[in-house]
Amino acid sequence: MATYSVRIELYGSPSSEVYTNLHSAMISKGFSRTFLDAVANKSFEFPHAMYGYFNQSTTANVVELAKSAAATIWKDFSVFVSSTEVRWEYYNLKSPK
């Protein structure tokens, strides 16, 4: 099963409250702000306004799902989705608080 990394960009000058609302909207659609690295056996937070999607789907469907969440929060935004079936590589991500 592929996993998806999703990045939302809100254009203009959204406040931190707007991003908090975006996080809630994305979570309500099944996106996650954290992921489990099975090799390290540790959870990490994605960078700001990046999410994971860990359900069976297509990239196009994940884009539509993310768009539907972001559109409830902000008018001018972009969505970037990539899928992978291999382990992510990363540096200096923080564990959830």
Backbone φ, ψ for residue 8 (5° rounding): -110, 130
Query: What is the structure's pLDDT at 62?
Result: 97
Q: Please tell me the distance from the alpha carbon of residue 46 to that of residue 13, in angstroms, as a whole number.
A: 21
pTM of the model: 0.88
Side-chain half-sphere of 76: how many Cα atoms within 13 Å?
A: 4
Residue 14 pLDDT more than 80? Answer: yes
pLDDT one-digit tens code per residue, 16-58: 999 999 999 999 999 999 998 888 889 999 999 999 999 999 9
Mean pLDDT over each residue of the chain, to the nearest integer: 93
What is the band of 97 on the pLDDT scale with cuts at 50, 70, 90? confident
What is the band of 1 on the pLDDT scale with cuts at 50, 70, 90? low
CATH no. of 3-84: 3.30.70.2360
Smallest CA-to-CA distance from 69 within 33, 43, 35, 36 is with 33
Query: In the chain, what are the domain boundaries?
Result: 3-84
